[in-house]
Amino acid sequence: MIQITQPRLAFGCMQFGGAADATASRAMFEACLAAGIRHFDTACGYSDGASETLLGQFARGHDLFIATKVGYHGGAGRANLLAQFDASRKRLQMDSVDLLYLHRFDPETPLQDTLETFADLQARGLVRHIGLSNFAAWQVMKAQAIAHSLGTCIAAIQPMYSLVKRQAEVELLPMAADQDIAAFTYSPLGAGLLSGKYTQGSAGRLTEDSRYATR
């Protein structure tokens, strides 16, 4: 089983092509490179695909670790995952990615079917590592057992985690440490809450995204 050995910091590109236009997105990308960050995280659904398109443009000529996600919309069935991943690779202008996450748990699709699709992509050399985003610990362990039966493994998880959202400390992070699974947490500033932006009347995900505010 191949484990991820990458720098501890990753940059999330959710705002690329959305709240941040192409110029602002490139400025953030260049700032990351200057700071030594080489791991960039995106998803097929970020800014309706614009995030992947911009990241693909910026990444040309650089040695980077690229992660993307599929399955947030449309379920985790094989046809949907393959269609979304094919579109992601085209937008990124990459034949393969370093890490592919299932964006969220799909109770309507058997994990066996989903993991077989991911394992097939990995066997074809299109994906180096398999990850799970927004999964509970029991869901990760169930997926890991299936992955092992297929000759692969869940190499990374991506839970929300910050000083104001610490639930991951209870089960997810200890599980990841015990199972040698990399944990790339997201929203470290609590959707901007820890930055002080809301005390200044600024808008943000907590005020604009009802689904995010209830997590």
Whole-number Å distance between alpha carbons of 148 and 200: 49
Whole-number Å distance between alpha carbons of 215 and 207: 13
pLDDT computed for residue 207 by the predictor: 57
Q: 148 Cβ partners below 8 Å, 6+ apart?
A: none
pLDDT computed for residue 196 by the predictor: 76
Domains of the chain with CATH codes: 11-184 (3.20.20.100)
Instruction: Confirm if 113 and 81 have CB atoms less than 8 A apart.
Output: no
Section 83-94 average pLDDT:
99
Q: Which tops the pLDDT comparison, 96 or 204?
A: 96
Interval 28-42: pLDDT, tens:
999 999 999 999 999
Section 71-79 average pLDDT:
98
Q: With bands split at pLDDT 50, 70 and 90, how would you rate the model's confidence at 186?
A: very high
**What is the reported pTM?**
0.91
Identify which of 194, 196, 195, 191 has the alpha carbon closest to the alpha carbon of residue 213.
191
Instruction: Confirm if 71 and 37 have CB atoms less than 8 A apart.
Output: no
pLDDT computed for residue 27 by the predictor: 98
| 101 included as an active-site residue | no
Question: How many CB atoms lie under 10 A from the CB of residue 131?
Answer: 28
pLDDT computed for residue 213 by the predictor: 57
pLDDT computed for residue 212 by the predictor: 57
Which one from 46, 72, 101, 161 is the annotated catalytic residue?
Answer: 46
Indicate if the pLDDT at residue 5 is higher than 80: no
In this structure, of 137-141, 144-148, 154-158, 207-211, the range with the lowest mean pLDDT score is 207-211
Whole-number Å distance between alpha carbons of 173 and 169: 5
